[in-house]
Amino acid sequence: MTVRRDFKEPARCRPDLVIGREELVTAARDQLTRGEKVTMILRQPQFSPLAVEKQVAIIWTATNGWLDDIDSSRLGEFETGFYRFLESTHKKLLPAIAKEKAISDDLAKDLEAAVKEYREQSGFGTAEEEKG
């Protein structure tokens, strides 16, 4: 999955989305919403660059649908809390992302578990949710 393909390619060119008009409208709306969330999380304060491993973690979270149901006005709160959570509860995850410079299958499983745990503990969701 690439950000370019998922958010730049028009929905009309995606044969997997052309099922019916209602499904197309729903899929296009969901794609636009996810694109909005990704755009918002990519913003960084001037002179305060975010560590690459944190960027990777939050972009992975967004592109895998874990931010879809979070109101845009609460994304900053989610993001700040998520970084603190990873640094305090999953101390090895961010350094592993930095070291591997990629999200392996094992890291993806660990990251998904961390996102689920954070969402449940912080009130942003429940552990029973499945995304993808």
The residue extents of the domains of the chain are: 3-122
pLDDT at position 16: 55
The answer on pLDDT for 94 being more than 60 is: yes
Q: Which of 89, 131, 92, 96 has its CA nearest to residue 112? A: 131
> Which token pair is 33?
């919403």
pLDDT at position 131: 59
The answer on pLDDT for 10 being more than 80 is: no
The alpha-helical segments, DSSP class H, found in 90-127 are 93-100, 105-122
Q: What is the pLDDT of residues 56-74, one digit of tens each?
A: 999 999 999 999 889 889 9
The backbone region for 18, taken as left when phi is positive above 0, alpha when psi lies in -120 to 50, beta otherwise, is: beta
pLDDT at position 81: 95
The alpha-helical segments, DSSP class H, found in 11-67 are 21-42, 52-63
CATH says 3-122 is which class? mainly alpha
pLDDT at position 127: 53
Contacts of 74 by beta carbon, 8 Å cutoff, 6+ apart: 124
